[in-house]
Amino acid sequence: MSNYLCIDIGGTAIKYGLFDGMGNKLAKFEADKTDNRTNENGILMTICAKISDIMMDHPLAGICVSSAGVVNQIEGKIIYSGYTIPNYTGTEIKKTLENRFSIPCEVENDVNAACLGEHWKGALRGIENGVCLTVGTGVGGAILLDGDIYHGTGFTAGEVGYLTVDGTNFQDLASTSALVTRVSKKKGKLLTGEEIFILATSGDEECLSEIEVLVDSLSTGIVNIMYLLNPECLVLGGGIMAQEEFLKEKILNTVSHKIQHPIFNQTRIKFAELKNDAGMVGALYNFKKRQSVRR
């Protein structure tokens, strides 16, 4: 049985998992902090060190990478990374890892990978046309057309975080990071997203108010996507969407209120099923598809 190392590079953490070819997780490894603040490529150095350690005990048939940033998935290269991960643009992940470890590697954008994971094993099973949004350090998007990712002319399709909402980037209003920043400023201390929802559940007015800002902003983006693409299904992912019980009804009601007419509101809104594994599972699916093409 072949082992595949799946790596999910997010805005705050790098996650690792060992999977078989059917998408079953065989082992989980300690996550690393995403740190690329210096001009030295901390992310690439970190994952190379981790791969070296893992290979001592686990022979690998492939390295499957899901990464934040705009990815040229043909070359396996980061061609643009905004302010959420500095000093990352131009990083040659595929070339570097294949040269160093002599193992095939494929790289896909993290939201595209999550979308592929949900299409293969999760909320988008059996759906050919959909959209996936992940809410975390920023807000990322992926477009599934005819069962495959639509990348656009310059690999930037789905970069919804830069959409303008009320004169501000969508992700600066609707991301978990934005929620944490607003609440922490009001409270005068740093809180996590999980702590904010615990307080909101107990009736904290400041937390409830800022969650409503997030829901309102997120729903505005969802409505605009529905107008543009009319997808069969829109899946919401990212750590904050583990709060499905708290958020789902609020989002559905706000979308219904904002949309022009029920004729436009036929997209099913679902929450991701694969949770934190979506990017890694999708990275494996992408690896298998791209390797079959390269052969």
Locus of tokens 């607003």? 182
* 267 pLDDT more than 70: yes
* 295 pLDDT more than 80: no
Instruction: Using alpha carbons, list the distances in angstroms from residue 53 to 19, 32, 108, 146, 279.
Output: 16, 13, 23, 39, 22
- What digits encode the pLDDT tens for the residues 13-39? 999 999 999 999 999 999 999 887 776
Q: Domain residue spans in the chain?
A: 4-113+276-294, 126-272
* CATH numeric code, 4-113+276-294: 3.30.420.40
238 vs 166: CA distance, rounded Å: 23
Neighbours of 288 (CB within 10 A): 17
User: What is the rounded average pLDDT for all residues in the chain?
Assistant: 94
Tell me the DSSP string of 98-125.
Answer: HHHH-S-EEEEEHHHHHHHHHHHHSTTT
**Common-topology check for domains 4-113+276-294 and 126-272:** yes
Structure tokens of 147?
């069962």
- What digits encode the pLDDT tens for the residues 232-252? 999 999 889 999 999 999 999
Amino acid at the residue 97: L
Share of the chain above pLDDT 70, in %: 99
Confidence (pLDDT) at 84 = 73
205 vs 227: CA distance, rounded Å: 33
DSSP state of 260: S
- What digits encode the pLDDT tens for the residues 146-172? 999 999 999 999 999 999 888 899 999
* 278 pLDDT more than 70: yes
103 vs 111: CA distance, rounded Å: 24
Structure tokens of 79?
């061609």
Burial class (CB in 10 A: 0-12, 13-18, 19+), 171: buried
List helix spans (H) across 132-242. Answer: 171-174, 176-187, 193-201, 205-229
Instruction: Using pLDDT thresholds of 50, 70 and 90, give the confidence band for residue 292.
Output: confident
Confidence (pLDDT) at 40 = 66
49 vs 66: CA distance, rounded Å: 17
Confidence (pLDDT) at 24 = 96
- What digits encode the pLDDT tens for the residues 186-219? 999 999 999 999 999 999 999 999 999 999 999 9
Structure tokens of 18?
């060992």
Domain 126-272 has CATH 3.40.50.720: no
Q: Which of 195, 223, 234, 190 is nearest to 211 (CA)?
A: 195
Interstrand relation of 4-9 and 62-67 (parallel, antiparallel or unpaired)? parallel
